[in-house]
Structure 1
């Protein structure tokens, strides 16, 4: 199923003890609808405060409710900042995380000289004018298959820190600047460290060549600072050859 959420109130997607999480809230709603205590499996473990337009999650159920009825029933139990957008029957072998071939994230920056109360929950406010051309020049080095260990602080989270990035682009509309990045998968904090360090380039505090040198340094956690979570949104998870696609949903 597709889940949309505004992550401000939640301690990330993955369930944790004694704190609200997206997984925990959805599992409780499923229990109320089906009477089944299930385990929800998500495509990505978004951090605390991060949002999603299309998080993909799956679970097994004995329920015979139609997908349409299931969506309506779940949404009646979920708070307004979480919504099930659609549901789809898939093979029991489907794994939302392992079967994904790509993930699309967007980071939103409000580059107005005056902060906005209305965008404060989903856009990071940077009051000083940013140079988008310089930021895109810096981001060019991210394209391709590389070791992104400088962009994570958790080397133990995965033995392999090589990832393939196919899109990394900044673009502007009105007072907002967006960073769209697409990869097969991401390391913990990879997108936020990418944004935080490239913002230094856009502010004139770091040169493009300096950023490129840092990106290839092989030094864990070298990319700093870490941009705050509220500007980040999981936009879409892509799949192929498993009978699950956005056109059929």
Structure 2
């Protein structure tokens, strides 16, 4: 029997998981998705993700693919998988796509947001989804640093490890700081990211915003191209994968009208 490639847009609270990627004996998002697919389809299927989020990192717009029998409708797939998945993982949409579509290689960019609760008082409702910082951050100087990061640069200083990474050059299409009520939000879009790049960036931006370093120090660290120099990294709790962008809509059959990614939401 022939199989069809399906794509899912997935949202999850990563608090209780050791990242997206499957790890023996550990709870991961991939393992839960594959378990739900096997229950629904009666067969095992390997899931591929557009961005492999780390332990404790959340997602509003993760994009994954897998193979299954073509008889499944996309609407049925969404409803059935959400029935089998645990409460902290949900499928937003499903698509049938061409066999040569690759969720990782065909992605043009990934977008992440990091939430900081910048308030004198902590909130019990956001402690798992945002970093609490009671001292007021200087958003203006943080925004100036964001401008330095835009464009194509060597971000080695913002990586914790390299592993199989061939190049530390990344193209940052947008980096900005915004304020929404008591939240300071760092938004970044790039073609791809180095290991822990976003969290190391937030850690350095936070020290800049607190006056512990100056804008010249930020620039020097960026230009040093020295592995891990931007650390220590910010905690995982505030980081969200918000959207994955592609050059054209997913292909053959859709469970909804909106085609790519998930818009940012309030916490």
Query: Above 0.5 in TM-score?
Result: yes
- Alpha-carbon distance in structure 2 between the residues aligned to 1:80 and 1:12: 16
Task: Give the alignment's TM-score, normalised by structure 1.
Answer: 0.97
1:115 deviates by: 1.2
Q: Equivalent residue of 1:195, what SS?
A: helix
Name the counterpart of 1:230: 237
1:154 deviates by: 1.2
Q: Equivalent residue of 1:88, what SS?
A: strand
Which has the larger strand fraction? 2
Name the counterpart of 1:85: 92
| 1:122-201 correspondence to structure 2 within 5 Å | 122-201=129-208
Q: Does structure 1 conserve the Cα–Cα contact (< 8 Å) formed by 2:249 and 2:259?
A: no
- Alpha-carbon distance in structure 1 between the residues aligned to 2:250 and 2:95: 10
1:247 deviates by: 3.2
Size of the alignment, in residue pairs? 249
Unaligned runs of 5+ in 2: 1-7, 261-267
Q: Which runs of 4+ in 1 moved over 2 A?
A: 241-249
Q: Deviations over 1:179-200 (max 9, x none)?
A: 0000011111000000001100
Aligned with 1:42 (options 37, 49, 56) = 49
1:241 deviates by: 3.7
**What is the alpha-carbon root mean square deviation over aligned residues?**
1.3
Q: Deviations over 1:77-107 (max 9, x none)?
A: 1111000111000011111111100101000
- Alpha-carbon distance in structure 1 between the residues aligned to 2:258 and 2:70: 25
- Alpha-carbon distance in structure 2 between the residues aligned to 1:225 and 1:151: 10
- Alpha-carbon distance in structure 2 between the residues aligned to 1:171 and 1:248: 26
The 10-residue stretch of structure 1 (88-97 or 153-162) with the greater mean CA deviation from structure 2: 153-162
Name the counterpart of 1:98: 105
The 10-residue stretch of structure 1 (57-66 or 117-126) with the greater mean CA deviation from structure 2: 57-66
1:13 aligns with 2:20: yes
